Each structure stands twice: as structure tokens, then as C-alpha cells.
């Protein structure tokens, strides 16, 4: 029996031209997806690769979805930290019959590689939520890094790179590397806070953070395996003591026996030595 769920938008901002799934117009069916147009809007020929993307993402993650995913296309979102995609997720304890919903923001001028990367990223969120952690998601940039890692080859093709390692090496060489342990509580990457923090370079800075976390997760999987990584989602997180700005961090010491700072240092040392 399919579980009933209710959904909340993840990172949908007030300025978004899309508010509800009910605004979606014509739909098209594929083996895994129901593809919808928001108010008659659809970039041309974007749906033809989606089932291929599904196969690649679920193979990377080792799990699949029982649910059909609804994909809604809408024109690009405005703003300096505009989102390229969004996943609508259910809050705990509330039920509905609606399927998982993904928004992809694009138009005819959008690079098709960006559309594929955004869709694969949001599918990574869906698989993580419904098939890996049962809705116990850690509210952290770690979740965005995981979805970026899930998007794997599609994200790298869009970034013009052959591996996560090579992208991070280029950041280090250019002096643009952003330490993970200084960004592990940063979540709302489409907020006014993010725009204030990164200014006109907000999108580029966000892509750097997402890619670095994906590369770090790639390293953790290579070193310790996929199941150990997944247990990080299910382990009670570390919670900040600051009541004014509380946030949760993945509990790396409980799962990996070391704090994030040490794991990051070991990873960077491996990169510097030419390792994967």
C-alpha cells in the first residue's frame, strides 16, 4: 500500500512564479514520471532524457523509488540566488495521496545540461527522503551536497569537469575553496541571507559549496562505503547550543569517529597527494 503524504516546498521562495502544483497544465507520462507544464509552459524536448537520468541516479544510490514522481516545469526564478530546481517534501506525521513533486525552472535559452543536472539533483533529494532516511533528513548543506553527488555525471557535465576531485582541485588552485566545516550549517541558499553573504556572485558561490560537499561525499563513499554514509542521515544530529541561531549538523563523530574538520583535512591531504 502506498503511504499517504503531505508536501512542503523545499527552498521555494516568495518571489517564485510557481506556487502550487494545481497550477500545472498539460501532463505527459513516462515510466517513472508524470511531467507537467505550469500554465502551459514547457521547454522543448527536455523530458526525453528523464528515464535515463532516473536509471543513473538510482544506480549511484543503490535504491529506487516506488512512487511516480511529478515533474513541473516553470520559467526561471528571479533573484541573485535564484533556484534552478526544488523538491516538495512531506512533513512528518501528515498524510496525503499526492506523489513526490519536483520543480525545474528553465526556459528555451537554458542550457540543457543545467536542466539535466537540476533534475538529477532534485531526484537525489527524492530518493534520499523516500528510500534512504524515511524523512529524517538532516537540515544541513550536507543534504544539498548529497543530492549533488547523486546527480554525479550530469552535474559534472554541466560544470565542464570529468570528476568531482578535479573541480575541487581547481577551486584550491584558484583560491576559491570554501572550507566545509565553515559552511556545514549553511542551508537556505536562496534566502536574503545568502544574497547578502555572497552578493552578485551568489550562484557561483552556491555551486562551489554544493560541488565541494559532493566531492567530499564521493570520498567518504570510496573510503567507507555507501551504507555508512546513509547511516549519517539516520543518526541524531549535532545541534548548536546557540538558541538565537540554532541549526543541526550531521553527527560525523558518531558515524565516522572523527569530527568534520579532521575528515575534511584528511580528504584535502589525499587530494594534495594526487589520490581520489
Give pLDDT tens digits for 168-183. 999 999 999 999 988 7
Greater confidence (203 vs 25) lies with 203
Geometric angle at alpha carbon 104, from 117 and 208, rounded to 5°: 40
116 and 184 housed in the same domain: no
105 and 225 housed in the same domain: no
C-alpha cell at position 14: 516568495
Say yes or no to pLDDT of 8 above 70. Answer: no
Q: Which range marks the domain in which residue 68 is found?
A: 8-132
Q: Classify residue 3: in a domain, yes or no.
A: no
255 and 163 housed in the same domain: yes
- Identify the band that residue 86 occupies on the pLDDT scale cut at 50, 70 and 90: confident
- Identify the band that residue 129 occupies on the pLDDT scale cut at 50, 70 and 90: confident
Report the percentage of the chain scoring pLDDT > 70: 69
Provide the number of structural domains found in the chain.
2
Q: Name, of 18-27, 82-91, 132-141, 142-151, the range with top average pLDDT.
A: 142-151
- Indicate the helix (H) or strand (E) that contains 184: none
168 and 251 housed in the same domain: yes
Q: Classify residue 2: in a domain, yes or no.
A: no
pLDDT on residue 75:
83
Last-in-domain residue among 98, 132, 166: 132
78 and 185 housed in the same domain: no
Mean pLDDT of 204-216: 92
Find the CATH number of the domain harbouring 73.
3.30.2010.30
Last-in-domain residue among 110, 132, 154: 132
Q: Classify residue 73: in a domain, yes or no.
A: yes
- At 225-252, the pLDDT tens digits run 999 999 988 888 887 666 555 567 888 9
29 and 107 housed in the same domain: yes
Which among 186, 188, 190 has a CA at the least distance from the CA of 81?
A: 190
Say yes or no to pLDDT of 104 above 60. Answer: yes
- At 23-51, the pLDDT tens digits run 445 667 777 888 776 655 555 555 667 88
14 and 77 housed in the same domain: yes
Mean pLDDT of 124-137: 79
Minimum mean pLDDT among 142-156, 157-171, 183-197, 205-219: which range?
183-197
- Identify the band that residue 138 occupies on the pLDDT scale cut at 50, 70 and 90: low
CB atoms within 10 A of CB 228: 13
145 and 257 housed in the same domain: yes
What is the overall mean pLDDT for the chain?
78
Q: Classify residue 124: in a domain, yes or no.
A: yes
- Identify the band that residue 162 occupies on the pLDDT scale cut at 50, 70 and 90: very high
- Whether the CB-CB separation of 165 and 157 falls below 8 Å is answered with no
- At 213-222, the pLDDT tens digits run 999 999 999 9
CB atoms within 10 A of CB 98: 15
Mean pLDDT of 60-74: 85
Last-in-domain residue among 105, 132, 159: 132
150 and 126 housed in the same domain: no
Q: pTM value?
A: 0.83
Which stretches does DSSP call E strand in 172-239?
A: 238-239
164 and 268 housed in the same domain: yes
Minimum mean pLDDT among 80-89, 142-151, 194-203, 260-269: which range?
194-203
The CA–CA distances, whole Å, from 237 to 106, 142, 186, 232 equal: 35, 12, 15, 8
Amino acid at each position: 500500500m502506498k503511504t499517504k503524504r503531505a508536501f512542503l516546498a523545499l527552498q521555494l521562495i516568495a518571489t517564485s512564479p510557481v506556487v502550487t502544483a494545481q497550477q500545472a497544465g498539460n501532463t505527459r507520462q513516462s515510466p517513472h514520471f508524470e511531467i507537467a507544464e505550469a500554465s502551459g509552459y514547457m521547454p522543448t524536448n527536455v523530458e526525453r532524457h528523464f528515464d535515463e537520468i532516473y536509471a543513473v541516479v538510482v544506480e549511484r544510490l543503490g535504491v529506487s523509488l516506488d512512487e511516480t514522481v511529478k515533474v513541473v516545469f516553470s520559467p526561471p526564478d528571479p533573484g541573485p540566488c535564484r533556484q534552478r530546481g526544488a523538491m516538495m517534501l512531506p512533513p512528518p506525521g501528515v498524510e496525503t495521496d499526492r506523489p513526490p513533486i519536483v520543480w525545474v525552472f528553465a526556459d528555451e535559452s537554458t542550457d540543457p545540461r543545467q536542466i539535466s543536472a537540476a533534475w538529477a539533483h532534485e531526484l537525489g533529494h527524492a530518493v534520499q527522503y523516500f528510500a534512504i532516511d524515511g524523512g529524517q533528513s538532516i537540515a544541513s548543506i550536507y543534504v544539498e551536497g548529497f543530492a549533488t553527488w547523486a546527480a554525479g555525471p550530469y552535474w559534472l557535465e554541466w560544470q565542464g569537469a570529468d570528476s568531482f576531485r578535479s573541480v575541487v582541485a581547481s577551486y584550491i588552485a584558484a583560491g576559491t575553496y570554501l572550507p566545509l566545516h565553515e559552511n556545514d550549517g549553511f542551508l537556505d541558499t536562496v534566502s536574503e541571507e545568502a544574497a547578502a553573504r555572497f552578493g552578485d556572485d551568489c550562484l557561483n558561490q552556491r555551486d562551489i559549496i554544493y560541488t565541494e560537499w559532493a566531492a567530499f561525499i564521493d570520498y567518504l563513499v570510496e573510503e567507507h562505503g555507501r551504507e555508512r554514509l546513509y547511516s549519517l542521515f539516520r543518526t541524531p544530529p549535532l545541534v548548536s547550543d546557540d538558541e538565537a541561531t540554532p541549526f543541526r549538523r550531521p553527527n560525523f563523530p558518531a558515524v565516522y569517529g572523527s569530527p568534520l574538520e579532521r575528515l575534511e583535512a584528511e580528504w584535502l591531504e589525499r587530494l594534495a597527494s594526487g589520490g581520489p
